[in-house]
Amino acid sequence: YFDSGITKSYAFRKDQLQKLKQAILSHEQELYDALYADLKKSPEECWVTELGMVLSELDFIIKNLRRWMEPERVATNLLNLPSASKVMKEPLGVVLIIGPWNYPFQLLINPLLGAIAAGNCVVLKPSEFALATSAVMKKLIEEIFAPEYILYVEGDGAEIVPQMMSHFVFDHLFYTGST
C-alpha cells in the first residue's frame, strides 16, 4: 500500500486526519467508558490526559500540515554554486506503534497522528492490559482505515511483537514503556 504512493499527497493525509478526528468525536463517550473500565479514569481526567491532548494535536497538525510538507530551502555549499538546495521531506514507509497500558489511547493515537501526517503506513499494537479501551480503538480504526494502510493488531505483546519484528520490515518503531 505504501509503495503505491497514495499516502504521499497532502489531500490524502489531511483527509485521513479529518476522518480520525470525526471518529474520535463520535466515539467519545465509548472512550470515556472504556478508560473508566480499564483505569478508573474520570471523564475529566480522560479529557486532560487522553482525548483532549489528541484532539488538540490533531487540530495543530491539520493546520500546519501543508507548510510542513513543503520543501525547505537550505544553504548551498560553494562547490555547488550557482544552484539551490532544498530538504525534501519524504515518508519513512511502514511504522510500528506499540502502546502502553497507562495512557492507552493517547500514547497509541498521538504517534499515529504523526505517522499519518508524515505519509506513512502503520501497524498499531495496543496494550493487552487495557482491553476495554483497545476494543473501542479497534472499532474506531477499523471503521475508517483500510487494514493495508492502518493495521490494528491485538494480543500479548511478548508474543506478537517479536513475531512481527522477525517476519516484517518496519522503517520506524515508536514505543513508550518498559523493556
* HEC readout, 114-166: HHHHCCCEEEEECCCCCHHHHHHHHHHHHHHCCCCCEEECCCCHHHHHHHHHH
Residue 43 in this model has a pLDDT that exceeds 90: yes
pLDDT at residue number 177? 73
Report the pLDDT averaged over residues 157-173: 93
C-alpha cell at 77: 555549499
Q: What is the pLDDT of residues 62-88, one digit of tens each?
A: 999 999 999 999 999 999 999 999 999
Report the pLDDT averaged over residues 2-22: 97
Report the pLDDT averaged over residues 28-37: 98
pLDDT at residue number 179? 66
Task: State the average pLDDT for the chain.
Answer: 95
